[in-house]
């Protein structure tokens, strides 16, 4: 039995990047810290079959692709069955500095009424430019060395510092979009009560770079590295596989943690680099834009249906129109609108199929908006 289980989801075509992540994690593993790797959606490829011969690493597989939420739930079930008390969800495209797992678990144990905790996260490639040994996955990378490079990493090259602690405004009311829209129409408007996403907060990044490493209260801890304990699962349940194949399962989990009365925290004294392969870049490609935007709208609709209260369908339509108003004059304004409509309809079908709610009002309002757009 291990006290801590590090849970990593992979797919057969991602074995190369997964092995790199495990190389960087190897020094963190011992009798009380194990890694469990799930190969999601196919038999384990030959390159990964020897993983469970590594010390303190075990391999499970699913011939069915369970999606991100379903795959991580399968890993959590495995870890719970082994008696683990703490769980570290870790993407398979990260670089783990020395001491990171122990630091995360210590921060969790010593924080009051904690729900989900995570590190401050840098994009991997800028970190490599600032600290070349960041790319040597088989060699130790000191946290101190990585912190020392922050002065050479631009704020725009951070990956994630968490969402604003007001989860309702950030993820239900989509205030970041409404804030930008208000700024466009009234440069003198007072937007102090319109929170931006913390990961875009240049002032916060500046404070961290200058050595202020105080814990940050957030609504959402990035899904590429989340730490929580057995008691949280007992209280709020596991990830919701309604969000499969991927997207916002981490947001929903963190919102449920906050709604239970717990704190979610990013600890900037602990760093991680993310994005060691090109999958996120490929999602930003023009050819992938429609699918990405549709999935984003699907996931935001599910979040709003779960956490938006009685007015959730009205909020979905208002957010759709706000995003269109913000981007209408760009080349992707109209295509994005139709991708968002498609995503909302997809979410509606999911909600009905799962018995999660009535969507009649939403579909009526959506049809009205579509009719106006086609005139």
pLDDT in tens, the chain (375 residues): 579 999 999 998 888 999 999 999 999 999 999 999 999 988 877 777 788 789 999 999 899 999 999 999 999 999 999 999 999 999 999 999 999 999 999 999 999 999 999 999 999 999 999 999 999 998 999 998 898 888 788 877 888 899 888 999 999 998 888 877 877 776 555 544 544 556 657 778 888 888 899 999 999 999 999 999 999 999 999 999 999 999 999 999 999 999 999 999 999 999 999 999 876 665 556 678 999 999 999 999 999 999 999 999 999 999 999 999 988 888 889 999 999 999 999 999 999 999 887 898 898 889 888 888 886
Pairwise CA distance, residues 254 & 95, whole Å = 23
Do 356 and 223 share a structural domain? Answer: no
Whether this prediction's pTM lies above 0.95 is answered by no
Do 251 and 107 share a structural domain? Answer: yes
Do 77 and 141 share a structural domain? Answer: yes
Number of folded domains that form the chain: 2
Do 288 and 271 share a structural domain? Answer: no
Residue 115 near residue 258 (C-beta atoms within 8 A) = yes
Count H helices, E strands: the chain?
15, 10
Beta bridge partners, 227, equal 88, 117
Q: Which of 224, 251, 277 is the last residue of a domain?
A: 277
Do 69 and 138 share a structural domain? Answer: yes
Do 109 and 38 share a structural domain? Answer: yes
Tokens of 95: 């670089």
Do 90 and 16 share a structural domain? Answer: yes
Tokens of 153: 């990493």
Do 355 and 244 share a structural domain? Answer: no
- Residues sharing a CB contact under 8 Å with residue 165, sequence separation 6 or more, in sequence order: 198, 217, 218, 219, 258, 264
Do 219 and 353 share a structural domain? Answer: no
Residues of the domain holding 85: 4-162+197-277
Among 29, 25, 4, 219, CA closest to 116: 219
């Amino acid at each position: 039995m291990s006290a801590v289980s590090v849970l990593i989801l992979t797919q057969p075509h991602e074995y190369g990047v997964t092995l790199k992540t495990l190389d960087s994690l190897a020094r963190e593993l011992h009798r009380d810290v194990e890694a469990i790797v799930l190969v999601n959606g196919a038999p384990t490829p030959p390159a990964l079959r020897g993983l469970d011969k590594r010390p303190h690493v075990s391999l499970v597989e699913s011939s069915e692709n369970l999606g991100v939420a379903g795959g991580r739930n399968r890993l959590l079930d495995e870890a719970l069955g082994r008696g683990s008390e703490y769980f570290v969800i870790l993407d398979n495209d990260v670089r783990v500095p020395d001491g990171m797992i122990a630091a995360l678990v210590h921060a969790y144990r010593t924080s009051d009424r904690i729900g989900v905790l995570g590190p401050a996260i840098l994009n991997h490639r800028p970190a490599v430019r600032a600290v070349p040994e960041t790319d040597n996955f088989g060699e130790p990378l000191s946290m101190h060395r990585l912190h020392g490079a922050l002065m050479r990493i631009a704020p725009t090259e951070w990956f994630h510092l968490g969402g604003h602690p007001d989860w309702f405004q950030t993820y239900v009311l989509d205030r970041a979009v409404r804030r930008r829209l208000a700024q466009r129409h009234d440069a003198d408007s007072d937007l102090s009560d319109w929170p931006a996403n913390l990961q875009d907060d240049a002032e916060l990044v500046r404070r961290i770079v200058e050595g202020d490493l105080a814990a940050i209260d957030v609504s959402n801890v990035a899904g590429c590295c989340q730490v929580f304990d057995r008691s949280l699962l007992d209280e709020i349940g596991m990830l919701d596989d309604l969000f499969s194949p991927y997207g916002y399962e981490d947001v929903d989990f963190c919102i449920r943690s906050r709604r239970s009365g717990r704190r979610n925290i990013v600890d900037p004294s602990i760093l991680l680099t993310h994005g060691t392969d090109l999958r996120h870049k490929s999602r930003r490609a023009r050819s992938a834009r429609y699918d990405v935007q549709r999935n984003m709208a699907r996931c935001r609709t599910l979040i709003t249906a779960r956490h938006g209260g009685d007015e959730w369908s009205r909020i979905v339509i208002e957010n759709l129109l706000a995003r269109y108003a913000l981007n209408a004059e760009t080349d992707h304004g109209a295509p994005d609108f139709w991708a968002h409509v498609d995503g909302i309809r997809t979410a509606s079908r999911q909600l009905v199929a799962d018995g999660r709610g009535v969507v009649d009002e939403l579909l009526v309002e959506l049809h009205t908006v579509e009719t106006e757009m086609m005139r």
